[in-house]
């Protein structure tokens, strides 16, 4: 059976400014298929190769696959749908499969707008997709599809979702196949080294209201640190990787295993050959303050902190469970350990003003991280915060849900003014860093890394790819009133998806009513019990006075 996996050709001018990122989903999915006996897997990275539709059609036609599989995050969903539409035209006999976080939660929307998709994999793909391939191989498709957990598909005029599949309990049973990737094309610009994004853990115990990762991965699971280092050693030895970023939301949550991971890297001498970065929370930096230099010894050179907001009100809205003052201290601790720090800010909610944008700049400059990013709030349509704010959401063109396009329009600003305010923050921060910090931060690794980061920003800026500025027509403050984000206003929420949301809201409302009723019942019963208690003075009188008087008697 021939399987072709495609990474859609989507670009937004966000994370791409630092380089081309290898799609880890392909390696983990293909590795699990290989272990199940399905080895005829081809990968087409349409994104990295900027593969146009006609070229993709030609490649698919040549390969003649039995199955075409695509993944999509929210902004790449239309490109993913287009890939499968092309597959329907040039290899109509191939089963067309879509996976990823957007399709998992928005399957009714996706199947409504792209009826040429045969089936959606909902949730972690390795086990579900392998079960799907096995069913095809054994002749149980499509008759037996209702027995496979974690799928969604159209049956007649109905959208059907099978029972949700359990999460992958044994992550160590997944042996990724990194050989499918063209490694010469995945370069981390700041260091000019090949870059990988391996996975150490899945899930997150925190429930930030703007994030969907904790909903997608559900329970938190950590791999054996030895197995993770085995994988990294393979990436270094066999694929020439010189830098990696752990894909985890927060790899430091399990302190014991993270320390074991670092110990194993040091034991094998890998920090001399590969450096790495992570995303984590300021609270973990606080907790591990005495271990930061040890982490640096293990090769950790870059930490991106989800500081998110300069105002405590926003941190509370995001359910971050952190304090503003903790952010500054975490950055100081990392700087003392010689670890590069990157502060992330989320801007662009309805209450954003020129003053709050200025506040984030002043806070960033006061904290003095090495790098700072201002990301536009993106209302993922499957997060709790979206459900709270959805009446204010005017744009349903998901291709613009990319952290760089202002989806929400603040009450006090136009979208152009918001973009201009963010660009003003970038210009001031990095101009000052370039003049007064980066060139003078030593002569070795630190200086080279920081100047490499600056090079990445300048390259994206000159090419007008940073923040999609070229497409939006932004050339500075003088153009803020003329920018055009090219929203596709024909995009709307499908009736089936809207009904699903309304049903979920009704279930949530009924659950809240039940909780309130139970609280009221509990309170009433407590009041009844209190009313039946004998008053203290009466109890003393019945007992013949104070207990000490009884003893004396």
Residues 84 and 96: their CA atoms lie apart, in Å, by: 6
Give mean pLDDT, residues 368-373.
Answer: 94
* Token pair listed for 262: 């670092």
Residues 439 and 451: their CA atoms lie apart, in Å, by: 7
32-62 pLDDT, tens digit per residue, is: 999 999 999 999 999 999 999 999 999 999 9
Report which of 12, 121, 10 is spatially closest to residue 76, judged by C-alpha positions. 10
Tell which wins on pLDDT, 265 or 510: 265
Least confident of 81-95, 292-306, 441-455: 441-455
Residues 31 and 405: their CA atoms lie apart, in Å, by: 35
173-216 pLDDT, tens digit per residue, is: 999 999 999 999 999 999 999 999 999 988 877 766 666 666 66
Using only C-alpha atoms, the chain has a radius of gyration, in whole angstroms, of: 27
Q: How many other C-beta atoms are found inside a 10 Å radius of the C-beta of residue 248?
A: 26
Q: Prior bond to 247 cis, omega within 30?
A: no
Confidence of residue 388 (pLDDT cuts 50, 70, 90): confident
Give mean pLDDT, residues 331-360.
Answer: 93
CA dihedral 317, 319, 324, 330 (to 10 degrees): -150
Residue with tokens 């640096």: 296
Q: Are 99 and 71 in contact (CB under 8 A)?
A: yes
In terms of DSSP H, where are the helices of 153-279?
213-217, 225-239, 255-267
Element holding 160 (H helix, E strand):
strand 158-161
In terms of DSSP H, where are the helices of 318-414?
324-336, 354-367, 384-389
CA dihedral 522, 524, 529, 534 (to 10 degrees): 150
Give mean pLDDT, residues 372-379.
Answer: 92
Mean pLDDT value across the chain: 89
Confidence of residue 319 (pLDDT cuts 50, 70, 90): very low
Whether residue 310 is predicted with pLDDT greater than 70 in this model: the reply is no
Q: Bridge partners of 108? A: none
Residues 551 and 446: their CA atoms lie apart, in Å, by: 78
415-435 pLDDT, tens digit per residue, is: 999 999 999 999 999 999 999
How far apart, in Å, are the Cα atoms of 70 and each of 13, 120, 215, 434, 520? Answer: 21, 10, 21, 41, 50
Residues 268 and 230: their CA atoms lie apart, in Å, by: 10
Residues 341 and 359: their CA atoms lie apart, in Å, by: 19
If phi over 0 gives left and psi between -120 and 50 gives alpha, with beta otherwise, what is residue 438?
alpha
Per-residue pLDDT, 87: 98
400-412 pLDDT, tens digit per residue, is: 999 999 999 999 9
Whether residue 379 is predicted with pLDDT greater than 50 in this model: the reply is yes
* Token pair listed for 143: 């008759």
Residues 117 and 110: their CA atoms lie apart, in Å, by: 8
Q: Bridge partners of 346? A: 375
Residues 289 and 285: their CA atoms lie apart, in Å, by: 6
Per-residue pLDDT, 532: 67
* Token pair listed for 452: 């490499």
Residues 455 and 453: their CA atoms lie apart, in Å, by: 5
Give mean pLDDT, residues 368-396.
Answer: 87
How far apart, in Å, are the Cα atoms of 470 and each of 12, 259, 374, 399, 418? Answer: 11, 44, 18, 16, 16
Give mean pLDDT, residues 315-325.
Answer: 53
Per-residue pLDDT, 541: 47
Whether residue 139 is predicted with pLDDT greater than 90 in this model: the reply is yes
Q: Are 383 and 209 in contact (CB under 8 A)?
A: yes
Helix axes 354-367, 415-436, angle to 10 degrees: 20
Residues 389 and 412: their CA atoms lie apart, in Å, by: 17
Confidence of residue 382 (pLDDT cuts 50, 70, 90): confident
Confidence of residue 369 (pLDDT cuts 50, 70, 90): very high
Tell which wins on pLDDT, 276 or 380: 276
Confidence of residue 322 (pLDDT cuts 50, 70, 90): low
Confidence of residue 385 (pLDDT cuts 50, 70, 90): confident
Please give the model's pTM, rounded to 2 decimal places: 0.88
Tell which wins on pLDDT, 292 or 462: 292
Q: How many other C-beta atoms are found inside a 10 Å radius of the C-beta of residue 229?
A: 22
Q: Are 343 and 327 in contact (CB under 8 A)?
A: yes
Residue 165 DSSP code? P
Per-residue pLDDT, 517: 74
Whether residue 340 is predicted with pLDDT greater than 70 in this model: the reply is yes
Whether residue 534 is predicted with pLDDT greater than 70 in this model: the reply is no
Report which of 220, 205, 511, 207 is spatially closest to residue 385, judged by C-alpha positions. 207
Confidence of residue 539 (pLDDT cuts 50, 70, 90): very low
Residues 410 and 394: their CA atoms lie apart, in Å, by: 12
Residues 429 and 41: their CA atoms lie apart, in Å, by: 46
Per-residue pLDDT, 547: 37
Residue with tokens 């973990």: 284
Q: Which residues of 171-192 are buried (b: 16+ CB within 10 A; e: fewer)?
A: beebebbbebbebeebbbbbbe
What percentage of the chain carries pLDDT values higher than 70?
A: 88
Residue 219 DSSP code? S
């Amino acid at each position: 059976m021939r399987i072709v996996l495609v990474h859609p050709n989507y670009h937004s001018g966000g994370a791409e400014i630092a380089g081309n990122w290898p799609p880890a989903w392909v390696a983990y999915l293909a590795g699990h298929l290989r272990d199940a006996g399905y080895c005829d897997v081809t990968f087409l990275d349409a994104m990295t190769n900027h593969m146009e539709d006609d070229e993709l059609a030609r490649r698919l036609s040549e390969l003649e696959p039995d199955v075409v599989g695509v993944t999509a995050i929210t902004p790449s969903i239309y490109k993913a749908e287009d890939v499968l539409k092309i597959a329907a035209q040039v290899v109509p006999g191939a089963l067309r499969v879509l996976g990823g976080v957007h399709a998992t939660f928005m399957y009714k929307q996706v199947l409504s707008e792209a009826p040429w998709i045969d089936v959606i994999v909902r949730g972690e793909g390795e086990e579900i997709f392998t079960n799907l391939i096995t069913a095809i191989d054994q002749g149980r498709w499509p008759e037996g599809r209702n027995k496979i957990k974690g799928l969604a598909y159209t049956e007649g005029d109905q959208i059907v979702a099978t029972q949700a599949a359990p999460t992958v309990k044994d992550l160590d049973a997944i042996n990724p196949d990194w050989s499918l990737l063209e490694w010469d094309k995945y370069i981390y610009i700041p260091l000019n080294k090949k870059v990988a994004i391996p996975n150490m853990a899945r899930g997150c115990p925190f429930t930030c209201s703007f994030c969907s990762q904790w909903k997608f991965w559900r329970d938190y699971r950590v791999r054996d640190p030895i197995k993770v280092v085995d994988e990294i050693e393979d990436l270094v030895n066999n694929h020439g990787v010189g830098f990696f970023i752990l894909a985890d939301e927060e790899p430091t949550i399990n302190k014991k295993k993270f320390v074991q991971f670092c110990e194993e890297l040091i034991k094998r001498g890998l920090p001399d050959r590969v450096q790495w970065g992570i995303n984590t929370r300021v609270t973990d930096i606080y907790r591990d303050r005495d271990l930061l230099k040890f982490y640096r010894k293990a090769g950790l050179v870059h930490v991106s902190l989800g500081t998110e907001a300069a105002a405590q009100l926003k941190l509370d809205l995001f359910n971050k469970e952190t304090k503003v003052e903790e952010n500054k201290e975490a950055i100081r601790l990392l700087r003392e350990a010689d670890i590069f720090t990157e502060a992330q800010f989320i801007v662009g909610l309805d209450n954003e003003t020129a003053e709050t944008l200025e506040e984030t700049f002043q806070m960033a400059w006061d904290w003095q991280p090495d790098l700072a990013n201002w990301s536009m709030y993106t209302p993922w349509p499957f997060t709790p915060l979206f459900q709270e704010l959805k009446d204010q959401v005017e744009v349903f063109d998901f291709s613009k849900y990319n952290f760089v396009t202002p989806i929400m329009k603040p009450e006090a600003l136009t979208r152009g003014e918001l973009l201009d305010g963010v660009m003003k923050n970038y210009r001031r921060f990095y101009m000052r860093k370039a003049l007064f910090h980066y060139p003078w931060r030593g002569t070795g690794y630190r200086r080279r890394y920081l100047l490499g980061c600056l090079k990445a920003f300048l390259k994206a800026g000159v090419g007008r790819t940073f923040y999609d500025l070229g497409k939006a027509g932004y050339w500075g403050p003088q153009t803020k009133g003329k920018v055009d984000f090219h929203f596709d206003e024909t995009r709307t929420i499908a009736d089936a998806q809207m009904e699903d949301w309304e049903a979920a809201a009704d279930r949530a409302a009924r659950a809240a009513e039940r909780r309130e009723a139970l609280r009221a019942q509990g309170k009433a019963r407590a009041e009844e019990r209190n009313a039946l208690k004998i008053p203290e003075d009466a109890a003393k009188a019945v007992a013949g006075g104070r207990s000490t008087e009884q003893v004396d008697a």
